[in-house]
Structure 1
Amino acid sequence: MSKIYILHENDEWTDHLTERLEELDLPYELWHLDQGTLDLTSEPPEGIFYNRISASSHTRNHPYAPEFTEAVLAWLERHDRTIVNGSRALRLEVSKVNQYMALNQAGIRTPKTITAVGKENILDAARRLDMESFITKHNRAGKGQGVQLFHSTEALREYLDSDSFEDPVDGITLIQQYIEAPEPYIVRHEFVGGTFVYGVKVDTSEGFELCPADACSIEDLYCPTDAESQTPKAKFEVLENYRPSIVDDYERFLRENNIDVAGIEAIQDKEGRFYTYDVNTNTNYNSDAEAKAGTYGMLELAKYLGGLLQKSFV
């Protein structure tokens, strides 16, 4: 029987989707691709294949999940199976360099960035960037891993020489322009089927941990406001009546890169200019923010997958 196959490496991030698939009475099967075997001479089953592999898999001791998934996707694509977020999406998921080049190709502004491999080259890159404040981050990361803010190259040198320095899993560090927003938040733009669903405002006043999944934010759901307020401020807030013109650019970018499901993160500077700095093709949603807004990303995703499955029967 044809069904929906979910390619993943993190059980916690699939629960909300499978609950919605069951709610809609849609057949599905989970393929956990942390490890396994693949017979390249065999044929894949019929169905819809949804790739949910994350760039942060190595933080869960699944370092080779993206590579194994790339092999599985090549096999599926060879046999013309219907894939949601295929090999192109995976390539962008695991490399911010690839993301920025694709975004720039689509005419979308990204922060000025220099890549470096090796500690001395990281320091040299910061000098070349020549900015008072800058950020370092990992090329292949997730959940804000490796993100550090510096206000001088000397502070960067101290970090590089300390035990706190984290080697990127692929060896590539990005040294990036720091965008100072008038208020401490970014907006994550969610898309299903290449179509905009909603924007979620993410409070960044407590740092760079921006993963909206419930599993990421159990202890981080609320951040304190000023001392006079007794009401906690939600870290994630779905925005009402929000659709800036950049959303049209994002939808075009997704079409050009064969990406069906994504969360695209952007920040605005003091002049109101958008800078896009992350494309998450393994996107998650915050249930509390969605419940308050009455809109549900995983439900929209399950409906989308169900629609593709129905079309496959025709």
Structure 2
Amino acid sequence: MSGKVYVIHENSQWIPPFAAAFEAEGVPFEEWLLTDGSIDLAVEPPEGVFWSRLSASAHTRDHAHSKEFGRAVLRWLASWGRTVINGADVLELEVSKVAQHAALRHAGIDVPRTVAVFGTDDLVAKAREFGAPFISKHNQGGKGLGVRRWDSLAEFAAWVDGPDFEPSPDGITLLQELLVAQTPFITRAEFVAGDFVYAVRVDTSAGSFELCPAEACAIPGADGVEPEPLFRRRDDVDPALIDRYLAFLAAEGVGIAGIEFIETRDGRTVTYDVNTNTNYNPDVEATAPRSGPREIARWLGSLLPKEAVGLRG
């Protein structure tokens, strides 16, 4: 066999749906878990296709250095001319909401008003200039962690100066306008290989910002029973918006991503997150005409030499 798909990641809990998809499509794959290890920079990497699933939330699993490990590995792979999906430049987009905001704005896509504050010395002063209500979030986040709503500048100042303040891993705190949805949901559009797969409607009526769609992120109800699904497929997304997203992803070299947007009470469609290590909700997958993981497995398999793949059907 002359090649396989190498899945570069740091969180094994997110892998089972993709492993099942590779198996179903007859695509050989191997996991590269970037929590430790080494590379010899003078040694040629194996033949194959390399897919980076490195995450901005790695630090929440005690894998903060996986982002740095990923930077090294992805540059090494590129230097040897390997096919890398969501490579080094895309990783920079994944781990910086400032980078996402700048790229989206440059593409002509509406984004939230945002101020990036370096350190904490000017944080309260910049929040006062920004004005309440607003939200604060980590520049390097993931899963909605670190996002807080503030209706009072005094409460924000007390939090910044108090023991509960939690800095972003990179020291950059974002102050961002509070977007109020016309109806309480956001939408996540999923893309693979320059193609729109489906969109997901995510219920936000409970007020949470932690909206990870993966089964591994599911939180049981207070009585131990799984709550009603928060994630449902949505079939009425504006095709013109999808086209703008496809053009954006192509320009940024992103092969696989989920893009989140909100339709606001004042009539805007605002895009606020690009997730390049996207996960898929099992409830949505069960009813979708196409499977996100299966589309990924099929596409990555198509990039391998023919003799390496035994595609079914």
SS state at 2:196 partner: strand
Partner of 1:267: 262
User: Does 2:43 align with 1:48?
Assistant: no
Which residue, out of 228, 245, 248, partners 1:250? 245
Deviation, structure 1 residue 285: 0.5
**In 1, Cα distance between equivalents of 2:178 and 2:229:** 25
Matches within 5 A, 1:213-228: 213-219=214-220
Deviation, structure 1 residue 155: 1.9
Partner of 1:80: 81
Deviation, structure 1 residue 195: 1.4
**In 2, Cα distance between equivalents of 1:26 and 1:165:** 46
Matches within 5 A, 1:59-138: 59-130=60-131, 132-138=132-138
User: Does 2:302 align with 1:301?
Assistant: no
Deviation, structure 1 residue 117: 2.5
**In 2, Cα distance between equivalents of 1:195 and 1:263:** 12
**In 2, Cα distance between equivalents of 1:273 and 1:244:** 16
Partner of 2:36: 35
Residue deviations 1:207-261 (CA, integer Å, cap 9, x gap): 111110111114269xx9xxxxxxx642000113434421111100000010000
Whichever residue aligns with residue 308 of structure 1, its letter is L
**In 2, Cα distance between equivalents of 1:50 and 1:14:** 12
The answer on whether the counterparts of 2:4 and 2:308 sit within 8 Å (CA) in structure 1 is no
SS state at 2:265 partner: coil
Deviation larger for 2-11 or 177-186: 177-186
Deviation, structure 1 residue 129: 1.5
The answer on whether the counterparts of 1:46 and 1:81 sit within 8 Å (CA) in structure 2 is yes
After TM superposition, the score normalised by the length of structure 1 is: 0.92
SS state at 1:245 partner: helix
Which residue, out of 262, 282, 286, partners 2:281? 286
Report sequence identity in percent.
46
Partner of 1:10: 11
Deviation, structure 1 residue 34: 1.4
Residue deviations 1:34-56 (CA, integer Å, cap 9, x gap): 12111100101111000000000
**In 2, Cα distance between equivalents of 1:312 and 1:196:** 29
The answer on whether the counterparts of 1:47 and 1:312 sit within 8 Å (CA) in structure 2 is no
Give ranges in structure 2 of 5+ residues lacking alignment: none
Partner of 1:155: 155
**In 2, Cα distance between equivalents of 1:301 and 1:57:** 22
**In 1, Cα distance between equivalents of 2:165 and 2:9:** 29
**In 1, Cα distance between equivalents of 2:220 and 2:245:** 31
The answer on whether the counterparts of 1:189 and 1:265 sit within 8 Å (CA) in structure 2 is yes
**In 1, Cα distance between equivalents of 2:88 and 2:297:** 21
Partner of 1:183: 183
SS state at 2:248 partner: helix
Displacement over 6 Å in runs of 4+: 311-314
Partner of 1:227: none
Residue deviations 1:183-209 (CA, integer Å, cap 9, x gap): 211101100112111110111122111
Deviation, structure 1 residue 313: 7.3
Partner of 1:229: none
**In 2, Cα distance between equivalents of 1:215 and 1:74:** 30
After TM superposition, the score normalised by the length of structure 2 is: 0.92
**In 1, Cα distance between equivalents of 2:259 and 2:307:** 29
With a CA cutoff of 8 Å and minimum separation of 6, indicate the structure with the bigger relative contact order: 2
The answer on whether the counterparts of 2:28 and 2:308 sit within 8 Å (CA) in structure 1 is no
**In 2, Cα distance between equivalents of 1:220 and 1:112:** 34
After superposition, the CA RMSD in angstroms is: 2.2
SS state at 2:45 partner: coil
